[in-house]
Amino acid sequence: MEPLQIALIVGALVVLATLLGFAWQNKQGAVSRRAKPSLPADVPLDLVDSTAVITLLQFSGPFCSYCAAMRGVLGAAAASSEGQVAHREIDITDYPELTASLKVSQTPTTFVVTRTGHIISRIRGAAKPPVVAEEVHQALTTRKAQSDEYLI
């Protein structure tokens, strides 16, 4: 084979691998928000911190290296708005039924949950700190608006 052909094939392989990598990276930290809270609660109340406004409930799995990274990100988010935000981590193997009912298909998966056990949003995979901060901010302002409405 000619050197030019070899260079083209090798180059194409690097481009292909890079595109695959970006496709995977774009899916990490994808957020979906729930339009309306459902009844009954999505999450058992013993998994929610009743003293905080919202709980970041992290589903981790055995041998999941990004779960450890996500633990740091969520822990920092909880520490920066103490009293309002809590972080809880559970293992999917300890909660197989909840994992199935919430359709958790990858670890880590994080839910932003209200004090009443309702899911506000879902973060798939390991997310960067700004993504988590935005979800926390969004959740807290929504909760604030709802409680104001209730007072009126």
Partner 1 sequence: MSTSSNSPAGIDPRSPRFGAGITAILLLITIALGLGAEASGGTLSQRALEPGFLLLAAITALFAWGAFAGVKRHPYGAIYKAVLRPRLGPPSYLEEPEPPTFAQLIGFLVSVTGVVLHLFGVPYGLVIAAGVAFIAAFLNSVFGLCLGCEMYALLVRARIIRPS
Residues at the contact surface with partner 1, assessed by CB under 8 A:
1, 3, 5-7, 9-10, 13-14, 16-18, 20-21, 24-25, 60-65, 67-69, 71-72, 89-94, 107
Q: Which is nearer to partner 1, 17 or 151 (CB)?
A: 17
* Minimum distance, C-beta of residue 46 to partner 1, in the bound complex (Å): 14
Q: Are 91 and 60 in contact (CB under 8 A)?
A: yes
Q: Which is nearer to partner 1, 34 or 71 (CB)?
A: 71
Distance between start and end Cα atoms, the chain: 78
Q: Provide the pairing of β-strand 109-114 with 30-33.
A: unpaired
- Walk across the sheet containing 54-60 and list its strands: 30-33, 119-124, 109-114, 54-60, 85-91
CA 147, chain centre distance (Å):
24
Q: Which is nearer to partner 1, 68 or 145 (CB)?
A: 68
CA distances (Å), origin 139, targets 26, 37, 40, 122: 23, 12, 19, 11
Q: Which is nearer to partner 1, 55 or 139 (CB)?
A: 55
* Minimum distance, C-beta of residue 103 to partner 1, in the bound complex (Å): 15
* Minimum distance, C-beta of residue 27 to partner 1, in the bound complex (Å): 10
* Minimum distance, C-beta of residue 28 to partner 1, in the bound complex (Å): 9
